[in-house]
Chain A
Amino acid sequence: MLRFLTRRTLGAAVTLVIIAAITFFLFFAIPSDPARLACGKVCPPELLEQARHNLGLDQPLFAQFTAWLTGIFAGRDYGGLGYCPAPCLGYSFVNQAPVFETILDRLPVTISLTIGAAAVFLVFGVATGIIAALNQGRPLDKIASVSSLIGFSLQIYFVGTLALYFLVYKNQILARPQYLPFTEDPLAWASGLALPWVVLSIIFTANYTRMTRSTMVEQLGEDYVRTARAKGMKGRSVVMRFALRGTLTTVVTIFGVDLGALIGGAIITETTFGLQGLGRLSINAVTDSDLPVLMATVLVAAGAIIVFNIVVDALYAFIDPRVRLS
């Protein structure tokens, strides 16, 4: 286990550095002048030159990248512009704040959005999948199949906006989507995010229903399930102890992918509902040509995908003892 984790963590670090490097060098072509932003509107040339030097913009491109990279671990001194303690992801002159603080500021929005929706679609999706599999070919199964097909084909910006129109704007059934910190008022937190959770759940549940159903049907046909039945085990225990366990591998796989994608920034969801999470932050960074923030959001998003990949692979070993970590 330890060897597996060490090896995968090292691999993840290498992947992240490569992704960071690709992003850094590609986006250097964006026309932006952080020094001018740092210096302010009225900026004499010699001060601009000074700011440029402090930000390290007069260095060659590769040196700038290594400076950025070491800044994450060692912090960075911006000369007269201040010091950025580790983990330093740079300083955004658009937001007038260290990038790391901005990320920490936005992260709770994205995490709240993800956790609430994930809890609903995981439980609901797996449950409907099991029910459909146990009622294979009957009306319940057909209903589950058809609705999951529709859910699977829906788009967030379409259903989300329809829901906004009919549930919030026309009938005031749900509150206008907004983020309020959980620590201040849990109830307001939940009601502010209820609509995005519902819409995300409608779309994501479908995949879980489909996958759970098909794996479950396969599992119920396995020899060990038949053996358990033959020796007189009750139907419910067979499903819960044997068939469900075999299904978990599939569920964990897609759950890992979805969580990684959502935490990395649900760009479309946050845009549709006007929530100021990481996804919105990254889009704003693009429009403002805010390279440090963009780099950070790409890094966080890629990091989320990679971390959940590793977690999923590690979980396989717990769910299915036949899988060896290597």
Chain B
Amino acid sequence: MTIPAPATAEPGKTLAAKAPETTGRSPGRLMWLRFRRDRTGVASAAVVVFFLLVAALAPAISWLYGKDPYTLYGQDTPGLLNDFGYPVLPNGGVSSEFWFGIEPNLGRDVFMQLVYGIRTSLLIAAAATVLVTAIGIVMGIVAGYAGGKTDYAIGRVIDITLSFPSTLFIIAFMPVVENVFVSPDEETPVWLRAVTLIVMLTAFQWAGIARILRGQVLSLREREFVEAARVTGASPARIIFKELLPNLWTPILIQATLLLPALVTAEAALSFLGVGMIEPIPDWGRMFLRGTQVYHNDITYLIFPGVALLIFVIAFNLLGDSVRDAFDPKIKR
């Protein structure tokens, strides 16, 4: 059962209609109607979709643009980079051929690095978001519904997780993983680094969402409809899936939309600190790392990923706010 949301009446329409249709609107439909009226929300959704499309169509863009993110153009073609490894042309070598310029030293195409970099960042962040949300839901519901000792135990685990200096821990943990899984004469495989990043980000992020959902479940558990279900002999599984979960989708969706940009920036920060994606996989965070190393001579190389990440995060944060407004019109920002 879902708590009925107040129907948004549209007086003009209903009065004008010959036979007033009283078709029920599902909460999802109501949310969609409210969201469509929110211009900021629609615009930010468009930007987010644009980023997703670019990520999905990266190979097509690469084919149209005629370049790939791996070829060392600057080293293959003389005259693009000077003796110090910096682009000859001003503004980081921006030209009609290299739209966003050339990477210093290695001479790769910056535009392609950015386009393919979205894939890396988004894949890692999306995978971590799904895992975090799933673990958060399970832990939150179990703690809130079971109560007692289970609740206490999960509560303490959440406290400890939230007290961990997570960035420091992830940085320190990377060499440990490498030491255990990779023999010294081998190079770290890309998948191992990606999986480690996803697992570590998940390990420290689930506690926040679990704590929020636990609180929600605690208050929902005392509501009449849950009590009614229990009295009529509904099984715990039925109460959780049919009574509690439908009322939790709103906070879950809001948290997930805000979590994704947070994880994209967290991944970028880890790459910036040197424990992110490894070469030659294009990655925004590593572009920042390189950008901060060469900023004296080539600030352009830092500006492109910086602005791209800024737009991406702003769009996602706006989208998160709009989703919240659409779901819960009572909360006004």
Contacts and interface: CB of A to CB of B under 8 A. Distances in A.
For the complex, would chain A's binding face be called helix, strand, loop or mixed by DSSP majority?
helix
Given A29-B179, A30-B175, A150 B314 contact: yes
Given A153-B317, A165-B295, A305-B163, A23 B169 contact: yes
Given A30-B176, A161-B291, A155 B302 contact: no
B24 to A, nearest CB: 32
Contacts of B314: 149-150, 153
Interface stretch (B103-111, B238-246, B267-275): B267-275
A281 to B, nearest CB: 10
A155 B309 contact: yes
Interface stretch (A45-53, A108-116, A293-301): A293-301
Contacts of A173: none
Contacts of B261: 153
B296 A165 contact: yes
A283 B313 CA distance: 27
Contact of A169 (B160, B162, B269, B296): B296
Nearest to B317: A153
Contact of B165 (A154, A162, A165, A264): A264
B299 interface: yes
Interface string A270-295: 01100000010011011001000010
Interface string A68-97: 000000000000000000000000000000
Contacts of A165: 295-296, 299
Nearest to B169: A298
Contacts of A161: 291-292, 295, 302
A15 interface: yes
Contacts of A298: 165, 168-169, 172
Interface string A146-159: 00011011110110
Contacts of B173: 26-27
A107 interface: no
Contact of A19 (B160, B273, B306, B318): B160
A196 to B, nearest CB: 14
Interface in B240-285: 261, 265, 268-269, 272-273
Interface in B288-326: 288, 291-292, 295-296, 299, 302-303, 306, 309-310, 313-314, 317-318
Given A158-B306, A283-B171, A19 B164 contact: yes
Interface in B25-76: none
B180 interface: yes
A165 B303 CA distance: 11
A162 B160 contact: no
Given A26-B176, A29-B176, A265-B165, A150 B333 contact: no
A297 B168 CA distance: 9
For the complex, would chain B's binding face be called helix, strand, loop or mixed by DSSP majority?
helix
A253 interface: no
Interface residues of A, number: 44
Given A27-B176, A153-B313, A294-B172, A306 B163 contact: yes
A265 B299 CA distance: 27
A157 B272 contact: yes
Nearest to A299: B165
Most B C-beta atoms less than 10 A away, residue of A217, A267, A309? A267
A113 to B, nearest CB: 16
Contact of A149 (B169, B299, B317): B317
B175 A302 contact: no
B132 to A, nearest CB: 19
B333 A27 contact: no
A191 B317 CA distance: 34
B159 interface: yes
B188 interface: no
Interface string A15-30: 1001100010011011
Contact of A282 (B168, B272, B332): B168
A164 interface: yes
Nearest to B289: A157
A292 to B, nearest CB: 13
A183 B172 CA distance: 34
Nearest to A210: B333
B317 A152 contact: yes
19 contacts: A15-B159, A27-B176, A30-B176, A149-B314, A153-B314, A158-B288, A164-B295, A267-B168, A267-B273, A268-B269, A271-B273, A282-B172, A283-B171, A283-B273, A286-B175, A294-B172, A298-B172, A302-B165, A306-B163
Given A161-B292, A162-B303, A298-B168, 18 more contacts: A15-B163, A19-B163, A29-B180, A150-B310, A153-B261, A153-B310, A154-B310, A155-B306, A157-B288, A161-B302, A165-B296, A264-B168, A267-B168, A267-B273, A282-B172, A283-B273, A298-B172, A302-B164
Interface of B: 159-160, 162-165, 167-169, 171-173, 175-176, 179-180, 261, 265, 268-269, 272-273, 288, 291-292, 295-296, 299, 302-303, 306, 309-310, 313-314, 317-318, 332-333
Interface of A: 15, 18-19, 23, 26-27, 29-31, 149-150, 152-155, 157-158, 161-162, 164-165, 169, 214, 217, 264-265, 267-268, 271-272, 279, 282-283, 285-286, 289, 294, 297-298, 301-302, 305-306, 309
